[in-house]
Amino acid sequence: MSKEILTICKNLSSISPTFADNENFAAEFIRSYLDAKRAHYYVQRFDTRVPKTQSVKLYVNGRQFNCLGATLKTGEIKSNEYVISSLGYYPRNAPFVISFNPLSESISVAEFYEVPAVAVSRKDIADIILAREVRGFVKVEPINFRSKNILVGNRKNLKIIASAHYDSIISDGALDNAGSVSVLLYLVTEFPELLNNMLIVFSGNEEVSYDAFDKSGYGFRVFESKYKHLLHRSSRIVVVDGVGATPPKIFRENLDWVLQLKTLDEIKEKVYWISSEQIIALQYFHSDLDTVEIIEEEYLENAIALIKSLIEF
């Protein structure tokens, strides 16, 4: 069983990063897999817009440092005044941001900001903070494309909703989120009887978008706009996001990280998030370290068992 799940993960990761127009390749992979297994599905198409970094540079005392764009907006980095952890908070009046993920060994775009921003490695933070002069620039182009949610199962009188987003930002996107998609694809095709009372949602455009409500989770909100009644009618909602790096666990906190719904507060008591240990997952999050090599077959198989325990209660 686990070898097939890992193969799905590897195949999906091979077309990553599944961002902007490239997301459509991941959607077609999912649809092709479902077609091959004769699984019926419905496609919810929607238009969206995402930020694509065209160029980014950061100079520290005249020397160029490696960085990545982490913003929705083109603009300048004018000093080292606003160096922040991407896992913390930042001043809302900050005109620009230099961010770093304190848990990652690489450059991790763990957050997108609505002011000009770059992400840097934590190993460069001391040099940046102590520098006499820091200057940078990031150019972002908004990209319009058509995304889609792929819905498999019961859309009328269900008991369970399970979801996983299939878009990714950097590298293979294996942990975020090909492993989770692979687990649900295997579940839906190998245990079709579960679909009698269950709907599985493969969500597009989760990572980032230009949306007035929230920067991430737009695909979930598109689903919510049409199927809000199903979210309220369901007995449980299972979000699979970040499985494969450690034995999977169930989380009941920080649900807004993985299910960015407008009505989340109304339904959060029945939401279950399945993921890896977060102290480990965040080391790879939105970085070039998120490769298939960090995914363990055993942990994907464990995730199947954990999901089944939640949906067969």
Query: What pLDDT digit, counting tens, does each position of 247-274 carry?
Result: 999 999 999 999 999 999 999 999 999 9
The one-digit pLDDT tens for each residue of the chain (313 residues) are: 668 899 999 999 999 899 999 999 999 999 999 999 999 999 999 999 999 999 999 999 999 999 999 999 999 999 999 999 998 887 888 999 999 999 999 999 999 999 999 999 999 999 999 999 999 999 999 999 999 999 999 999 999 999 999 999 999 999 999 999 999 999 999 999 999 999 999 999 999 999 999 999 999 999 999 999 999 999 999 999 999 999 999 999 999 999 999 999 999 999 999 999 999 999 999 999 999 999 999 999 999 999 999 998 6
Task: Tell me the pTM.
Answer: 0.96
Query: Are the CB atoms for 145 and 23 separated by under 8 Å?
Result: yes
| CATH topology for the 51-142 domain | Glucose Oxidase; domain 1 (3.50.30)
Instruction: Give the β-pairing of 249-251 and 271-275.
Output: antiparallel
Tell me, rounded to whole angstroms, the distance of Cα 126 from its chain centroid: 29
Cis bond before residue 66 (omega within 30° of 0): no
Sequence-ordered list of residues with C-beta below 8 angstroms from that of 37, at least 6 positions apart, any chain: 189
Q: What is the largest CA-CA distance in the chain?
A: 64
| Architecture of the structural domain at 2-49+144-311 | 3-Layer(aba) Sandwich (3.40)
Residue 31 CA: distances (Å) to CA of 2, 100, 168, 205: 21, 36, 17, 16
d(CA 310, CA 313): 6
Q: Where are the alpha helices (DSSP H) in the chain?
A: 2-13, 23-36, 125-130, 179-190, 218-233, 264-267, 278-284, 297-311
Domains in the chain: boundaries: 2-49+144-311, 51-142
Q: Which residue has the tokens 């921003």?
A: 117
Count CB atoms within 10 A of the CB of residue 101. 25
